[in-house]
Amino acid sequence: MPDDHQDQLDEIYAAALKLDPAQRTAFVRQACSTNGLREEIESLLDDAERLGSFLEKPAIDALSMTGRSLIGVMLGPYKVEALLGAGGMGMVYRARDTRLGRAVAIKQASGEFSGRFLAEARAVAALNHPHVCTLYDIGPNYLVMELLEGQTLDRRLRIGPLPVDQIVRSGIEIVNALAAAHARGIIHRDLKPGNIMMTAAGVKVLDFGLAKLMPLAAAAVAGMDAPTASIQQAPRTDPGTVVGTVAYMSPEQARGEELDGRSDLFTLGIVLYEMATGKRPFEGSSNAVTFEAILNRPVPPARELNPKVPERLDEIIHKALEKDRALRYQHASDLLADLKRLERDSASTQQALAPRKTRRLWIAIAATAVLLALAGFWIWSQRERFSPPPRIAREQQLTRNVPENRHLGFDISPDGQRLLYVDMLGLHLRRIDTGETHDVPLPQELRARLWNVMYFPDGERILLLTGDSAEPAQLWTTSIFGEPPRKIRAHVRQAAISPDGASIAFLNFECNEIWVMGPNGENAKKILSSENDRFYSPVWSPDSRRLAYIKAKPNYLRFEEGLGGSIETVDLERGAREGVLSAPNLLAARESARLAWLADGRVLFNLRDDMAPGGSYSSWNLWGVGINPRTGKASGKPQKITNWSGDLPWQPRASRNGTRLAVNKGRFRNNIYLAELRGNSVRLDTPSQFTASDSLDRPYSWTIDSQSLIFSSDRTGTKLLYKQHLGRTSAEMLTPPENLSDRCAATPDGNWILYHSIVTTGKAGPSSIRWMRMPVAGGPPERVLDFSAGPEWDWDCSRSSRGICVVGRLEKEHAIFYPLDPLHGLGKALASTEWPAGAGFSLAVSPDGSLISIRSDRQIRFLDWRKGTERTIQIPAGWWIFQFEFSADGKAVICAAQAVSFFLARIELDGSTHILLDRGRSQSLAPALPSPDGRYLAFGQLTFESNVWLLENF
């Protein structure tokens, strides 16, 4: 189809759509030069009428599963109300028994139950025990059970070990449940933390005797996002694979023998051990290794991993973990008696002992200064110039959530002793001094939608913010004791409680109005509104008479939203507004921006360090500015409080007296791993961590002798180049390169590190490229050449003393390759090949320099430039290659790529492939650099973490 036809069609069609439907026909008739065109457009218009809202809702909404879509389905007498979750057996719903009006949980299987199953299930249904989840009813393909509020032990354990008294208490409850079941001849067979529910009424054991009989839904309907599940799906080439419930098997189960009650007791031993240490006693890199451990390996004392575990508890655990069942606890009642004795004895000693203090980790910010000093005077002086010295703050990390369970919102209690926080698993209350944590009970449906929380000044009542796509942004009140929550307002984006407890300030959903209301949602009154501005983060002055807030312009280019705005205050009695400060680098994003107004009169805010040299990601820091309580204006210059690099802090929350501050800090971390290549370089052994810092370390190049790795790191707060010898754990800093762009490589002669910078010509952008060399042995960088790059280009060096460096550039639909010498610059073109624009342009050079490889999204072409031959292979469908390099033998390329998960692979010159390593979907792998001698593969692995920190003395 000729393009002008298409343009014409597009234009007439679009013009017609703007018209009233009645006028369209006449317009199209007149505008179209041919009948063919007219018919096409009329047919388009007809179809457009039937489109409805097709594609109007973003894809993410279409896919999101809020459970709301299930409302109304009837299952026998049960009306399904919500999706609670999904487990290995299938989906779990909340439903209502329409006859009794009782809320129940329904677990649905993928097929109809067998007769044997039904018989077992009836026996279980007869089991009525306070610590067993009651089975109410059995449908043809579903189970109806007691609805429990709480979280599984499995989820709880992700936060860390449990306090000893809770282990003993829960252990007693579980053994009680087992004893009751064993007495009726029911063996659990599948006890594990995922089947143990922690509720306000204590522990409830789920799925007695049923798990193994349930028709299994394949591979956990929901498990696809859980970290373990994604590992399970990974190909077996990953030597780090850990497999699920094998870890909870008894030796007799591992051997496939008949089970009895003692098998449950062994498994309980495993669970107790995990509660005490946070670690499973038997865990191997494969099922076989785990089996071997269960059958033969002794378990180290739990005390070795957690010194708080009393010796007596260790003894109990080890007796339960006897591999020979004849030597184990013979009956649940024996184990119960031991646990009860331990409970009695420790209760009396606890009263005698003074409150224990756990170790506190104070990380002085001064440590950063020490590192900076090591990094050299140059950086230090730049730092000095750009950022005023921070006030000394003391820091302590309060939460240690894994990347998969990032917390969402939090608050510090008015007395500064407790942290209340929301994560993916629910609402938790943590004592800051002991780290002891418990869950605040909430109705399941509220918990799933919870995203932020706030203390009232009494330290007991709390405010919850919930929301999902159906009911965005509601405000509830409850208490830390889990009183039934009460909804007080809808359509609220952010809220703040006044220090006197008499008022709540809130933002409307659109963020263009600030309101104030009473603590129960009464007497809501609009304070401010604006057509053109957005308001964020209202906070109260210590005397509860003023509000401070951020004012920012909405910007349709959303990147700009979130950056830049001003802080203002408003007097609530008189309505007078005062500007405090305005900054282009103020964090003003809807969700992340939060101010805090301290008792000493300072308002804290979040500013980006635009001028900070280095850091692989932009750094944000907390600043404070004093506010005059009479005028509401700034009383002094803003001062920097923290001196973080690479972190994005948000939501500072202060204790009542303003001496303790909880703040969320998120950061990316990239570490370098090293693995040995085996079996003709088509397999990797288990990778070991080569760099381990809180920084972003990115491998760039091996030295030609394969003895050291050159990488960049922002470990000092500034991105610098380092060289680390294979046998060492510490790195040597190289001379800071000037304007290092995104690549550097060791040259084949072994003497230089070559890198490029991008030279811009003012505002319009590119650009020429400048290559610089610096001696591997150390010394200042020198310019090699400037190069007019053109629309697409790339370069690479052979990883061998026999090789060359090559620059490739797209010129008139041809890729042309030039040799690049670190001393003499560019040589005459070596080769060229036809290459389409916009297809991708990545280059690699073989170790001996004979092959130049160029890659698009879909194919890799190898050019033997001496012989003048070329060969093209296709990249496997669905692979997205991020980076590639020749293998040391020159017979393949090694690439970092993604299909569904992130992986490293070797692609032979004939196009056949080997997967070297697969790390699932949440951690990316790149780049991958084979060592010149072919023995090792170095690669980077990226994760994101975010946790709450406590600041004092700020």
Partner 1 sequence: MKFHEHSSRGEVTELLLAWGAGRHSALDQLVPLIYPELRRLAHSYMRGERPDHTLQTAAVINEAYLRLVDCARVQWRDRAHFLAVSAQLMRRVLVDYARSRQYQKRGAGERPVPVDAALDLHRTRGRELVKLDDALSALAKLHPRKAQVVEMRFFGGLTIEESAEALGVSRDTVIRDWQIARVWLHRALEGRGQHA
Among positions 830-869, residues that touch partner 1 (CB under 8 A) are: 840-843, 855
CB burial string 862-888: b at 16+ within 10 A, e below:
bbebeeeebeebebeeebebebbbbbb
Q: Give the residue, chosen from 32, 147, 495, 740, that forms a contact with partner 1 under the rule CB under 8 A.
A: 740
Task: Pick the closer one to partner 1 by CB: 59 or 326.
Answer: 59
| C-alpha torsion sign, points 944, 946, 952, 954 | positive
Q: Give the residue, chosen from 508, 691, 701, 757, that forms a contact with partner 1 under the rule CB under 8 A.
A: 757
Burial of residue 445 (CB within 10 Å: 0-12, 13-18, 19+) is middle
CB of 388 to partner 1, least distance (A): 18
Asked if residue 915 binds partner 1 (CB under 8 A), the reply is no
Greatest CA span in the chain, whole angstroms?
98
Task: Pick the closer one to partner 1 by CB: 726 or 942.
Answer: 942
- Report the site for partner 1 in 802-831 (rule: CB under 8 A): none
Asked if residue 73 binds partner 1 (CB under 8 A), the reply is yes
Question: Could you tell me which of 819, 787, 815 has the C-alpha nearest to residue 806?
Answer: 819
Binding mask 141-180 for partner 1 (x = CB under 8 A): xx--------------------------------------
Task: Pick the closer one to partner 1 by CB: 295 or 942.
Answer: 942
Length of the chain: 954
CB of 563 to partner 1, least distance (A): 6
- Report the site for partner 1 in 508-527 (rule: CB under 8 A): 509
Total residues interacting with partner 1, rule: CB under 8 A: 144
Asked if residue 718 binds partner 1 (CB under 8 A), the reply is yes
Q: Give the residue, chosen from 189, 698, 715, 906, that forms a contact with partner 1 under the rule CB under 8 A.
A: 698
Q: Give the residue, chosen from 701, 706, 716, 883, that forms a contact with partner 1 under the rule CB under 8 A.
A: 883
Task: Pick the closer one to partner 1 by CB: 68 or 331.
Answer: 68
Asked if residue 354 binds partner 1 (CB under 8 A), the reply is no
CB of 481 to partner 1, least distance (A): 25
Task: Pick the closer one to partner 1 by CB: 14 or 361.
Answer: 14
Asked if residue 69 binds partner 1 (CB under 8 A), the reply is yes
Beta bridge partners of 193: none
CB of 156 to partner 1, least distance (A): 17
In three-state secondary structure terms, 10 is helix
Angle at the Cα of 925 from the Cα atoms of 922 and 927, rounded to 5 degrees: 155
Task: Pick the closer one to partner 1 by CB: 529 or 767.
Answer: 767
Asked if residue 739 binds partner 1 (CB under 8 A), the reply is yes
Q: Which residues contact 330 (CB under 8 A, 6 or more apart)?
A: 262
CB of 390 to partner 1, least distance (A): 21
Question: Could you tell me which of 147, 139, 146, 145 has the C-alpha nearest to residue 77?
Answer: 139
Asked if residue 432 binds partner 1 (CB under 8 A), the reply is no
End-to-end CA distance of the chain: 68
Asked if residue 611 binds partner 1 (CB under 8 A), the reply is yes
CB of 562 to partner 1, least distance (A): 5
Beta bridge partners of 742: none
Q: How far apart are CA 537 and CA 701, in angstroms?
A: 46
Provide the H-helix boundaries in 596-651. Answer: none
Task: Pick the closer one to partner 1 by CB: 268 or 938.
Answer: 938
Q: Give the residue, chosen from 17, 327, 364, 374, that forms a contact with partner 1 under the rule CB under 8 A.
A: 17
Task: Pick the closer one to partner 1 by CB: 616 or 703.
Answer: 616
- Report the site for partner 1 in 658-697 (rule: CB under 8 A): 666, 668, 696
Asked if residue 944 binds partner 1 (CB under 8 A), the reply is yes
- Do residues 517 and 536 touch, judged by C-beta distance below 8 A? no
Asked if residue 244 binds partner 1 (CB under 8 A), the reply is no
Which residue in the list 154, 190, 314, 423 is annotated as catalytic? Answer: 190
Asked if residue 384 binds partner 1 (CB under 8 A), the reply is no
Task: Pick the closer one to partner 1 by CB: 13 or 752.
Answer: 13
Structure tokens at 419: 């942290």
- Report the site for partner 1 in 86-105 (rule: CB under 8 A): 91, 93
Asked if residue 890 binds partner 1 (CB under 8 A), the reply is no
Q: How far apart are CA 747 and CA 822, in angstroms?
A: 7
Asked if residue 31 binds partner 1 (CB under 8 A), the reply is no
- Report the site for partner 1 in 184-243 (rule: CB under 8 A): 215, 217-219, 221-222, 224-225
CB of 708 to partner 1, least distance (A): 22
Residue carrying the six token digits 């939203």: 561
Asked if residue 402 binds partner 1 (CB under 8 A), the reply is no
Asked if residue 451 binds partner 1 (CB under 8 A), the reply is yes
Q: Give the residue, chosen from 245, 417, 512, 585, that forms a contact with partner 1 under the rule CB under 8 A.
A: 585
Concatenated DSSP letters of 826-874? E-S--EEEE--TTS--EEEE-TTS-EEEEE-SSEEEEEETTTTEEEEEE
Q: Give the residue, chosen from 143, 145, 313, 448, that forms a contact with partner 1 under the rule CB under 8 A.
A: 448
Q: Give the residue, chosen from 63, 352, 354, 877, that forms a contact with partner 1 under the rule CB under 8 A.
A: 63
Asked if residue 10 binds partner 1 (CB under 8 A), the reply is yes
Asked if residue 561 binds partner 1 (CB under 8 A), the reply is yes
Distances (CA, A) of 328 to 251, 264, 414, 482: 12, 11, 49, 40
190 is annotated as an active-site residue = yes
Task: Pick the closer one to partner 1 by CB: 566 or 922.
Answer: 922
> In the sheet that 196-199 helps form, which strands lie side by side, from edge to edge?
150-152, 196-199, 202-205
What element of type H or E holds 737? none
DSSP class of 195: G
Task: Pick the closer one to partner 1 by CB: 516 or 720.
Answer: 720
Asked if residue 943 binds partner 1 (CB under 8 A), the reply is yes
Number of Cβ within a 10 Å radius of residue 120: 18
CB of 133 to partner 1, least distance (A): 19
Kindly report the backbone phi and psi dihedral angles of residue 363, in degrees, each rounded to the nearest multiple of 5, phi listed first.
-110, 105
CB of 73 to partner 1, least distance (A): 5
- Do residues 208 and 134 touch, judged by C-beta distance below 8 A? no
Task: Pick the closer one to partner 1 by CB: 142 or 605.
Answer: 142
Where are the extended beta strands (E) located within 23-89? 74-75, 78-87
CB of 509 to partner 1, least distance (A): 7
- Report the site for partner 1 in 613-632 (rule: CB under 8 A): 613-618
DSSP class of 622: E
DSSP class of 79: E
Q: Which residues contact 892 (CB under 8 A, 6 or more apart)?
A: 681, 886, 906, 907, 908, 909
Structure tokens at 622: 């907390």
Kindly report the backbone phi and psi dihedral angles of residue 344, in degrees, each rounded to the nearest multiple of 5, phi listed first.
-60, -45
CA-CA-CA-CA dihedral for 891, 895, 897, 903, to nearest 10: 90
| C-alpha torsion sign, points 539, 543, 544, 548 | negative
Task: Pick the closer one to partner 1 by CB: 243 or 942.
Answer: 942
CB of 835 to partner 1, least distance (A): 11
CB of 611 to partner 1, least distance (A): 8
Distances (CA, A) of 575 to 519, 570, 658, 925: 21, 6, 26, 55
Choices 29-37, 314-322, 725-733, 875-883; region in contact with partner 1 by CB under 8 A: 875-883
Asked if residue 490 binds partner 1 (CB under 8 A), the reply is no
Q: How far apart are CA 774 and CA 772, in angstroms?
A: 7
Q: Which residues are catalytic?
A: 190
